[in-house]
Structure 1
Amino acid sequence: MTWKKQLALLAKPYYWVNILLAISYMLAKKTQFICTRLFNLIGEDEDCDLDSREVEILFFLLIVVMIRSRKTGSVTMINYLASSFLYTKVANAILWAYADFRYGLGFLLLCVLVGMVLPEPSYRGPEHITYFRTAQVFEEELLRDKRTTWLICFYTVWNPSCVNFAPIFAELSAEYNTDHLKFGKIDIGRIPDVAQKYGIADHSYSRQLPTVILFQQGKETDRRPCTDSKGKLQKFFFSSDNVRATFGLNQLYKEAVERLPSAPNKVKEAKESKKVQ
């Protein structure tokens, strides 16, 4: 996702309202007018700086956000923000309650109201993804036309990394889909047999979610994340550029276009399109 797109997303109410909630306590403390009224400070000599306990809470929050963001595979500013909102709001609730229990309760009610009124924006752009509902249909489709290459995302609806990757996979499908290069998704939370067959752990602590597998001529040829020679799972950041490079989508697209009728013209158009991008 380009910076231009990220800044456009930040303009949406969900993000800037949650950013205000995330910095609400510090903003109140650092704004003299608000601080003296909310925290009953009297006199010009009173200090609105954070005390040691408040600094400890904020420092702990910073560590948690960094760790969780890395575990969820956040690679863009928007991903970092989205994955940190929950923890920042919890920390702010603690800080407000530390100052006054009533403030903490009011802040929690405000967060609930914001969550109901402003849900997180979801990807609304075009996509060309086949959603497989059963294992049988999936296996039949892989073997129906062996000239077709499939890039399949194995995911669960509750995993944060899968949620972060969903718009990236959708955009890639819109860009590269052809009759012989297709994109599909399987919810292994609903079809655990598929997860077992392809060796994908679907428990809450799994580091294999999402898993993207490339199938050519009906057989698996590559996957991410994958294991090294010692059987250790290697971390993979599911950014758009990483997926393009790892699976060679440009080359796969070119090969898929060559199989279409009027292939020479199609290949020329594909090359020109990629040069523009």
Structure 2
Amino acid sequence: MFEETLTYVTDGYMLSNAAILGAFGLVHWQQAGKAARGGWTGVYDQLLSWEKQAALMLAIILCVKTFRRQSAVALTADLFFYAKAAAAALCCCVDYRVFVLYSMLIALSLLLFPHPPAVLDHKVTLLTPAALKDRLKEQQKDGNPSGWLVMLYASWSPASLTFDHTFLNLARTYGKGGRLCFGKLDVSRWPHTAEEYGASLALGAQELPAVVLFEKGKAAEKLKGPDSSKAHSEKSRHDSGLESKILQCRTSRQTGPSGSVGVTRKEHSAASNPSFPVVAKDWAALALLLELDCSDDRPDTGLDTYIGRVNGRKAAVKVADAAQGKLALVHETGVYDHLKDLQGRYIPRVLQSGSTSDGMLFLATQYVQGTFQDWSEKAHLMPAMLEAILQVHCRGVAHGDIKALNTLFPDDVSSMRQRSAEPPWAPAMLVDFGSARMKAPLGILWREWDDIVDYLASDKLDEFLPSKSELKEKHRHGVQCLPIDDD
């Protein structure tokens, strides 16, 4: 990730844009020099006023674009565009000749240093029309369960270049296990391919980028890429259906009676996902199988939690029926699998996960019986909780929602007397990893740790906390080394 960021920052596109914006500084310096030598500051004063207005406009755009961003790359491209437009307008206000030269400089940079595509990755295959046909022929063979998700893009399309980075992130997230392969094809080089799959290359059509799903050698569905006129936030990416469609393509597609590929009515059914095998026919059968403590009504929210039993053991069961709830449950199941060596000690043990024939998903974990502790009165429990968080961090996972309700202690802990800061400590378990982030950068892990210590009123807990050197050593073993100050 660091290498990708470094490559992008040092690319000619970034450097040329920085140089263009720096060139406007020369215009400002020239006008300041004229005002100082001639004593007439009319143009310079006007320039300062215009610059303040332009800075305010850019600040507003930055706030809006940050909230509506599709990715950091798209945000950077938008900011460069608006900043160069503002600088060109200011040059026009100063002198039309300066404006012409500045516009030529911008045009030259666009020709020589276009927006860079995403860094090549083995998760995304560069395709030609012939290579795509070969892949589709292989897909038609019996026993080949993989599907292909192909992005149709044009090298001259800014929307395609910014979406390229998002498509790469989706491939890295969902291109595991060989069930779904990702590829991209530059239709600006082969216009007939764009026409074949119903994508127009016209500038006003706004049909690029487009994503086409191939199953059993045929185009099963065309998914439109993000609309530049709509919000580019993470929420809009989910709401636009692209990410949910990808998950649906991995898990819920089946062959119709005529041999064509159809889509099941229930989204995100995981009947073919090994992590969610079908164990019951419907909600009533699932409630009976897991002995759920609930009525016979189906859950009416995205993600509901019940108390049940798995093989005679009391369990906390999460059931998801809505699309967004299923995405969250699939993510949480992946986090538990990533932390499997901590199950039963620092996080609950996963007892069973599965699905119903009509598309519901469930995740059953061991039920931790106990009462919530008052942290201000149970300071001797803090080392145990911090140790649990530290173990999760050492595996590159940021919990994302640390609070009293998500920190459980068994019943016998409430009767324990105050312990020293030396292990072994009282057991503590973290639950609810729906907001967790796997492979979290060190900065995010450190910020979460810093927020936790501040939240626990560290000035009252110094005698119970492990020494900083000990924490530093443990972080070094788990996630290299988080910078913990000694003062």
Distance 1:216 1:236 in 2: 30
1:209 aligns with 2:181: no
The offset of 1:148, in angstroms, is 0.9
Question: Structure 2 vs 1, CA of residues 218 and 45 (structure 1 numbering), >3 Å: closer, same or farther?
Answer: closer
Aligned AA (1:186): L
Distance 2:96 2:54 in 1: 18
Question: Structure 2 vs 1, CA of residues 13 and 40 (structure 1 numbering), >3 Å: closer, same or farther?
Answer: farther
Query: What is the aligned-residue RMSD (CA, Å)?
Result: 5.1
Query: SS of 1:50's equivalent?
Result: helix
Aligned AA (2:438): V
Distance 2:182 2:217 in 1: 14
| Partners of 2:136 and 2:216 within 8 A in 1 | no
- 1:68-147 alignment runs, 5 A limit: 75-86=70-81, 88-104=83-99, 106-108=101-103, 111=106, 120-124=115-119, 126-130=121-125, 131-134=127-130, 136-137=133-134, 139-144=136-141, 146-147=144-145
Partner of 1:199: 198
Distance 2:12 2:191 in 1: 37
| Partners of 1:178 and 1:257 within 8 A in 2 | no
Which structure 1 residue ranges, 5 or more long, are not aligned?
A: 227-233, 260-266
Partner of 2:171: 173
- 1:1-277 alignment runs, 5 A limit: 14-15=13-14, 18-19=17-18, 21-22=20-21, 25=24, 29=28, 35-38=31-34, 42-43=38-39, 48-50=44-46, 75-86=70-81, 88-104=83-99, 106-108=101-103, 111=106, 120-124=115-119, 126-130=121-125, 131-134=127-130, 136-137=133-134, 139-144=136-141, 146-175=144-173, 176-225=175-224, 242=238, 243-248=242-247, 252=251, 258=274, 271-272=337-338, 276-277=438-439
Question: TM-score, length-normalised on structure 2?
Answer: 0.39
Question: Structure 2 vs 1, CA of residues 50 and 18 (structure 1 numbering), >3 Å: closer, same or farther?
Answer: farther
Question: TM-score, length-normalised on structure 1?
Answer: 0.61
Q: Deviations over 1:93-136 (max 9, x none)?
A: 45324423553455456557766886655433533223133364
Aligned AA (1:276): M
Distance 2:22 2:334 in 1: 52
Aligned AA (1:103): V
- Which protein has the bigger strand share? 2
Distance 2:54 2:89 in 1: 10
The offset of 1:192, in angstroms, is 3.5
Distance 1:138 1:270 in 2: 35
Question: Structure 2 vs 1, CA of residues 190 and 51 (structure 1 numbering), >3 Å: closer, same or farther?
Answer: closer
Question: Structure 2 vs 1, CA of residues 142 and 133 (structure 1 numbering), >3 Å: closer, same or farther?
Answer: same
The offset of 1:11, in angstroms, is 7.6
Distance 1:38 1:144 in 2: 76
The offset of 1:245, in angstroms, is 3.2
Partner of 2:465: none
The offset of 1:172, in angstroms, is 3.0
Query: SS of 1:248's equivalent?
Result: helix
Distance 1:142 1:47 in 2: 68
Which structure 2 residue ranges, 5 or more long, are not aligned?
A: 253-269, 276-332, 340-435, 440-487
Distance 2:231 2:271 in 1: 26
Question: Structure 2 vs 1, CA of residues 216 and 38 (structure 1 numbering), >3 Å: closer, same or farther?
Answer: farther
Count of aligned pairs: 250
Structure with larger RCO (C-alpha < 8 A, sep 6+): 1
Distance 1:51 1:268 in 2: 56
Q: Deviations over 1:182-222 (max 9, x none)?
A: 11222333333433333222212222211112333444454
Larger radius of gyration between Structure 1 and Structure 2: 2
Distance 2:128 2:233 in 1: 21
Distance 2:118 2:31 in 1: 39
| Partners of 1:129 and 1:170 within 8 A in 2 | yes
Question: Structure 2 vs 1, CA of residues 98 and 15 (structure 1 numbering), >3 Å: closer, same or farther?
Answer: same
Aligned AA (1:192): P
Amino-acid identity (%): 20
The offset of 1:75, in angstroms, is 2.1
- Which protein has the bigger helix share? 1
Distance 2:129 2:178 in 1: 21
Partner of 1:264: none
